[in-house]
Structure 1
Amino acid sequence: MVARQGCGPPDIIERLRRNTCQTVAMAAVRGVVTRWLDDAFPGWVEFALTDVEGMVHIFHEKAPVLTLELLLASDPYPRELWVVCEVLSQGVTEARLRLWDGIESVDGRDELTLPIQSVRDDDWTARQT
């Protein structure tokens, strides 16, 4: 989610609560695929997210779990990628998130507090771009 000029950051949770078909506040978080790790089916990549304290969290995950976009070993890296997440809480400058599909960092974290500028509320776009 990018703050729109002339207004503060939209409240993702409140906007998604109004949608009665949605039971969980889903969003997308911006990170970076830093490199291709392994050709083992279906292909593994290294993905990085930077939290509000500037700490970089590293994830080793199957490419199709992160995105529906076709990632290849021959692609140029690093590259930006939006990954689906659940919004657990949101403040003015940060959001507490849980990554989708059981994605965990190499040190076992699946919940992170990230800058609100790294979050957007069009979650399914992350799986399709």
Structure 2
Amino acid sequence: MTALRVAGLSVQIERYIDDHFPGVVACVLTDADGKRHAFTEKVPVLSSSDLRADSSYPKPGYIGCVIEHEWLDAAGRKLVQVNTEQPWGITSVSGVTVFNVLDAQIIDR
């Protein structure tokens, strides 16, 4: 069995949406094809910053993910297929957990 390759996936935190402890924010992931995927998640899951309703936005954030596959596309871009279901059980608001992103969007390998 191959070990899971856990990494961080760069997202943009766009706004604060709920004060319910520890605070909930909305963020967006833009995939390799330019499609935006929205997420709603607790602040500490996406950022180590102390984000609040009166913080200025957007802010950088990250989602934990597992790297499933890497390849070069026809344009020579290094792409990475990630799954956000592991390690933290994160799903986009539309229920998607698998995304093709640019290698540059992967942090904390």
Determine if the TM-score, normalized by the shorter chain, exceeds 0.5.
yes
Deviation at 1:71, TM superposition (A): 1.7
Deviation at 1:63, TM superposition (A): 1.1
- 1:44 pairs with 2:31: no
Structure with greater strand share of residues = 2
Looking at structure 1, the residues matched to 42 and 101 of structure 2 have their Cα atoms a distance apart, in angstroms, of 22
Runs (4 or more) in structure 1 with deviation over 3 Å come to none
Letter in 1 for 2:11: G
The aligned counterpart of 1:72 is 52
The gaps in structure 2 that reach 5 residues or longer are 73-77
- 1:98 pairs with 2:83: yes
- 1:58 pairs with 2:38: yes
The gaps in structure 1 that reach 5 residues or longer are 1-16, 18-22, 124-129
Letter in 2 for 1:38: D
Instruction: Decide which of 114, 121, 124 is 2:101's aligned counterpart.
Output: 114
Structure with greater helix share of residues = 1
TM-score, normalised via structure 2 length: 0.83
Q: Deviations over 1:5-28 (max 9, x none)?
A: xxxxxxxxxxxx8xxxxx310111
The aligned counterpart of 2:75 is none
Looking at structure 2, the residues matched to 98 and 66 of structure 1 have their Cα atoms a distance apart, in angstroms, of 16
Deviation at 1:67, TM superposition (A): 2.9
- Corresponding pairs, count: 101
Deviation at 1:115, TM superposition (A): 1.1
